[in-house]
Amino acid sequence: MSKKSKPPIDPSTDQEADQIDEATLFSELMADVTPILTDRVRLKDKNQLETSAIQHNRRAATEHRITEFDPISSMAESVDADQALNFHRSGVQPKVMQRLKKGEIPYDDQIDLHGYRAHIATAELEGFFQHAVSERFRCLLIIHGKGERKAGNLPVIKNLLNQWLPEQPEVLAFHSAPARLGGAGAVLVLLKRDR
């Protein structure tokens, strides 16, 4: 007796069946998907990424500071790009000021404000300063830059700092940083120990 034998398996038909099943499955899964019409991404401006609550808080916190500071109206106190900042309260020893000027007092934290607009720099500075005071930091490095190098332009952030820092009761002294830390484009700020 002869046995009926099964026909040999054709590998090409099995692959075709798998491909048809995969294609059908893929089509079913993608049925609700909307195709993308463009391959370009619209990037949002940094300010648009912030929530409106954060923007509102920043505006409210700095509104009074913005109206107070005007480097042009306070010409007697204004400094130019290459002029060193220098301030100390009475009782600060000359040796302490020399160490600050040379950058020998290690700074605990730093912030880079150069390139910022005045109102944004003020908001960043106030937040940074509050954090430094709460952490009981002793010395800070603030990079303010030298402003635009156009004739007659005063460095806005540098002048803002020169006016704002002496108003802070926690500030004991400040001096432009040595060249290795930014020179006339940065300032080292010494905070009071007991505050």
Q: How many domains does the chain have?
A: 1
Q: Does residue 17 form part of some domain?
A: no
- Give the residue with greater pLDDT, 46 vs 152: 152
Q: What is the pLDDT of residue 53?
A: 47
What value does the mean pLDDT take over residues 137-166?
87
Q: Does residue 19 form part of some domain?
A: no
Q: Does residue 13 form part of some domain?
A: no
Q: What is the pLDDT of residue 72?
A: 41
Q: Does the structure show a pLDDT above 60 at 55?
A: no
Nearest to 186 by CA among 97, 120, 113, 105: 113
Please check whether residue 133 is in contact with residue 191, taking contact to mean a CB–CB distance below 8 angstroms. yes
Q: Does residue 5 form part of some domain?
A: no
Q: Does residue 8 form part of some domain?
A: no
Please check whether residue 161 is in contact with residue 78, taking contact to mean a CB–CB distance below 8 angstroms. no
Q: What is the pLDDT of residue 21?
A: 79
Cβ partners under 8 Å of residue 115, min gap 6: 145
Q: By three-state DSSP, how is residue 90 classified?
A: coil
Mean pLDDT, rounded, of the chain: 78
- Give the residue with greater pLDDT, 29 vs 40: 29
Query: What's the pTM value of the predicted model, to 2 decimals?
Result: 0.61
Q: Does residue 139 form part of some domain?
A: yes
pLDDT tens-digit series, residues 170-195: 999 999 999 999 999 999 999 997 75
Q: Which domain holds residue 105?
A: 46-191
Q: Does residue 36 form part of some domain?
A: no
Q: Does residue 64 form part of some domain?
A: yes
pLDDT tens-digit series, residues 78-131: 888 889 999 999 999 999 999 999 999 999 999 999 889 989 999 999 999 999
pLDDT tens-digit series, residues 4-35: 554 555 555 555 555 667 888 888 888 887 77
Please check whether residue 120 is in contact with residue 46, taking contact to mean a CB–CB distance below 8 angstroms. no
Question: For position 172, which CATH number holds?
Answer: 3.30.1370.110
Q: What is the pLDDT of residue 27?
A: 82
